[in-house]
Homo-oligomer: A and B are copies of this chain.
Amino acid sequence: MSKSQLDYSHDPSHESYDLIVRNDAPFNAEPTPPDLVKHYITPEKYFFCRNHGPIPVLDENEHTVEIKGIGCKEVKRLSLKEIKDYEKVSVMMVMECAGNRRDGLHRVKHTKGVIWGPCALGNAVYSGCRLKDVLESLGVTSKLDNFSKLHVAFESVEQCEEDRCYGSSIPLSKALDEFGDMNYKPLTRDHGYPIRVVVPGYIGARSVKFLKSITVQDQESSSFFQQRDYKILPESINTEEQANAYWTRLPAIGEYNVQSYVCIPADGVHNGSQPSEQVQGYALSGGGRFIQRVDVSGDDGKTWVTAQLYQPAAGGNSVYVWGWCLWTATVETKRNVRIVSRAVDSAGNIQQEYPIWNYRGVMNNSWRTVESNRLEQSNI
């Protein structure tokens, strides 16, 4: 759909939010770093908004979701009331955009996409029914032929420039995983009202908002957003043409990577008169992996101190943790030297030191931030 056909006049008001707007239409906005880490559960006021088109005008009493495909004994159209009849469960999880911290890659070289700072993520408790329960009630189980190669594709009501609607998919095995969770929740319009998917441990792009249909199929979603968008291109791919020839050779991103960031002080630089500073930030990792350690340095990575972690879900013997970790540390600082953090997840993955540029500017998790005077505008 062309840009001129998209009507943004029915978008909700965002006056009550305290967000930095990266793009008005579609509405893309994130909080400041200090605001982000004020709460362990991020209030909507500070919750980043990510859209690919106008926010649909939907009525929860009218809206239905079509569910169909391999293993489904029928094509089922469920009302929201029927969906709410399934057992309601809750999951606390961090929702992170694959483009979080794209600015760090954009400083290296031009990237395609909204130029997000470090706050395109938030931690929330989502409540709703399990996709697993809905699919199983229609006959979809792990006993299906070629089960491990099946996918669940989601389509949204959301219109966009790139495709006829927003869409995405996840592996069926992720959808049926009884050791994770996956829930629906009636939400504000900015976050997918009246129904969205949430996929713990996966990039936000897979948590499709304004859900219209669910299809079990033998390949990934054919959507632009699954096939030609959220993928990590090699450094050598610099242009749209080169990318077009390369997309099919790459896997779509599912789980996000290990990540952390200094949020307080806001710009990461201590300019006060004290030689030491109380530093705060966030850390997370994908796939349910929790954070086992965050190191913080006030001298450009020469020496590090171990941060205190606040990550209640990881207490005791928990295996999967979907929420984030907030941390604090006191570091010796030097004037005008950026304070940096690096996280280690439960699988021993560590953030890389320098940004490794990719054209789509996704999955940036380097602990060094390369500065640049020239931060060009996004092309989206």
Contacts and interface: CB of A to CB of B under 8 A. Distances in A.
Interface string A349-360: 111111010000
B151 A234 contact: no
Contact of A179 (B151, B173, B351): B173
Interface stretch (A62-70, A188-196, A284-292, A333-341): A284-292
Interface in A121-146: 142
B293 A232 contact: yes
A148 B318 contact: yes
A69 to B, nearest CB: 15
Main DSSP-derived SS at the A contact region: loop
Contact of A319 (B148, B317, B318, B350): B148
Interface stretch (A29-37, A50-58, A253-261, A324-332): A253-261
> For this complex, into which size category does the number of interface residues on chain A fall?
35 or more
A304 interface: yes
Given A148-B318, A149-B316, A353-B354, A306 B348 contact: no
A362 B293 CA distance: 15
Contacts of A151: 317
A75 interface: no
A348 B319 contact: no
Interface string A144-161: 000011110000000000
Nearest to A354: B353
A220 interface: yes
18 contacts: A148-B318, A148-B319, A149-B317, A149-B318, A150-B317, A151-B317, A173-B319, A173-B320, A251-B292, A254-B346, A255-B346, A255-B348, A257-B347, A257-B348, A257-B349, A350-B356, A352-B352, A352-B353
Interface of A: 142, 148-151, 171, 173-174, 177-179, 218-220, 232, 234-236, 250-251, 253-258, 286-287, 289-290, 292-293, 295, 304-306, 316-320, 344, 346-354, 356, 362-363, 365
Given A171-B317, A286-B347, A286-B348, 9 more contacts: A148-B320, A251-B290, A257-B348, A287-B347, A350-B356, A350-B365, A351-B352, A352-B353, A353-B353
